[in-house]
Amino acid sequence: MPGVRRRARGPEEEGSMAAGAECADGDCPRQHVFLIPEYLKDASKKMKNGLMFIKLVNPCSGEGAIYLFNMCLKQLFEIKVFKEKHHSWFINESVQSGGLLHFATPMDPLFLLLHYLIKAGKEGKYQPLDQVVMDEVFPNCILLLKLPELEKLLRHVTEEKEIDNKKYYKYSKEKTLKWLEKKVSQTVAALKANHVNVGVRVQSAAFFSSDQISSDKEEDFIRYAHGLISDYIPKELSDDLSKYLKLPETSAPMPNPPSKRLKMSDEPVEAKEDYTKFNTKDLKTEKKNCKMTAAQKALAKVDKTGMKSIDAFFGVKNKKKFEKI
Amino acid sequence: MESGDESAMEKQRVHVRPATLHDSSPATLHLLPCEVLANRFAPVGRFFTPAIRQGADGLHVSFRGRSLRGEEVSVPPGLTGYVMVTEKREGLIGKQDFRGSENNGEEAQEPLERGFDQFIGATGSFSCFTVWGLETVPGPEAKVWGALTWPTLAAAVCGPPAVHSRGDSCCRFTHRCPRTENQRASS
């Protein structure tokens, strides 16, 4: 049977009721827990519509991902999902499985445009933007063309030509790498400002001379930042950026490359894991074991599969989920 | 659910009802350290909330015979928490924008809302929630803390250029509640 029977709810009721109130003694529609920039609330007073969730390409994987798009502010927001096994929400007088927490954070649309520019760049021609940003799979990508100051943004990653007042663009790898380098140093600064522990090497560096410590550390920060940014660019460009940043190739891969950890949709944000010294599996279990109480241990044995991705949010895919319940 | 095929999903837009963002009533949220495989009514206010005790070392509650320990978590500054629910298709009748029926990719004239789009609205808002751990306070090592630092970092990693960014949602890093800071300092 597809889906659980849900209570219909007229639009006139919306907003006036607390979550969960409508499911007096039965199943509730799925409730999504979101953290969204505060200013969208103020903006929403003025707008009749224009705030929407859309599916666009994930510039790293090429697969679909959900974004929040604001037509009024002309802004793009990335959606990341925090998901930890064995968690659920109590929301007012209801229970919501999964315990997912969605984050909407502003995102530079250039990462998405870059995906299309690189594709089009393979032809080596100058092309108008509306011919570049076309996607049969994710037709909503045309909304990106409505974002402000695209011309200014595009200068970071393209060569441009103007013929008869019309702009034509061509992907430039050199410019893109320069732009990404700026992003890396911006990220390094943020990592430092937030005292993010960037890896095991930081600790081991303590055994070396002081000079070594500072230089080692810097490289770790850059590598970490590179990993984070690699989540927003294709693999090939990520490799090029690594060379451009003169990051030495590691003989043994880092225990947890950040790029592997901060994945869209199926993976939780798991930022903490990355940033602490407990980011290797061994350390984690070790820590768990010595801290766990009997009840925790007993529960640790029960290993249920994780929750669905944010795709479930778009309705279609959560069919199966509801069947199981 | 209603729309059967995958391709419709890629095209679809899920419009947020803007009014719900400022009309939604405060919601009380608890993040539980266990799976409850149900999405339904639960008498939280009758059995769970009244059992919460404020101890010197944080919150205590008993849930299904297990002892839980909790702490309050504030939503990072610049962000607001919302509980959102997708509207049932039936709810759309009368709201459908029929201009959208001839949707043939002509973006210049295409309305934002099309007949096959969905709507979502906030049913509750929150500025803090309670995180529960089994027998121990989740504490500063809890993964959710890490996740809450993401908005700060995201601004640098993938945020729009600084001159264009609006609001100040991503420039601060002071959302940890005092209790957790203390725990961190003492550990």
B138-182 residue pLDDT tens: 988 788 888 888 898 899 988 887 543 344 333 333 333 333 333
Q: Where among A171, A187, A216 does a domain terminate? A: A171
Distance from CA of B99 to the nearest CA of A (A): 15
Instruction: Decide if B55 contacts B107 (C-beta within 8 A).
Output: no
How far apart (Å, rounded) are the C-alpha atoms in residues A149 and A130? 15
How far apart (Å, rounded) are the C-alpha atoms in residues A67 and A233? 16
The CA–CA distances, whole Å, from A81 to A95, A247, A255, A260 equal: 19, 30, 22, 15
> Which one is predicted more confidently, B187 or B153?
B153
Distance from CA of A163 to the nearest CA of B (A): 23
A93 in the same domain as A10:
yes
Residue A6, domain member (yes or no):
yes
Residue A297, domain member (yes or no):
no
Percentage of residues in chain B with pLDDT exceeding 90?
Answer: 47
B51-95 residue pLDDT tens: 999 998 899 999 999 999 999 999 999 999 999 999 986 544 444
Residue A99, domain member (yes or no):
yes
Q: b vs e for B101-135, b when ≥16 Cβ sit within 10 Å of the residue's Cβ?
A: eeeeeeeeeeebbbebbbbbbbbbbbeebbbbbbb
Q: Could you list the residue range(s) of the whole structural domain that residue A247 is in?
A: 173-291
Number of domains chain A is built from: 3
Output the CATH code of domain B6-138: 2.40.128.680
Q: Which residues of A touch B99 (CB under 8 A)?
A: none
A86 in the same domain as A51:
yes
Helix H segments across chain B?
Answer: 6-11, 18-23, 143-157, 178-186
Residue A301, domain member (yes or no):
no
A212 in the same domain as A131:
no
Closest chain A residue by Cα to residue B134: A296
Residue A272, domain member (yes or no):
yes
How far apart (Å, rounded) are the C-alpha atoms in residues A324 and B38? 10
Q: Which residues of A touch B90 (CB under 8 A)?
A: 8
Contact across the interface for B160 and A25, Cβ inside 8 Å? no
Q: Where among A121, A149, A171 does a domain terminate? A: A171
Q: Name which of A23-37, A295-309, B78-92, B139-153 the model is least confident about.
A: A295-309
A253 in the same domain as A315:
no
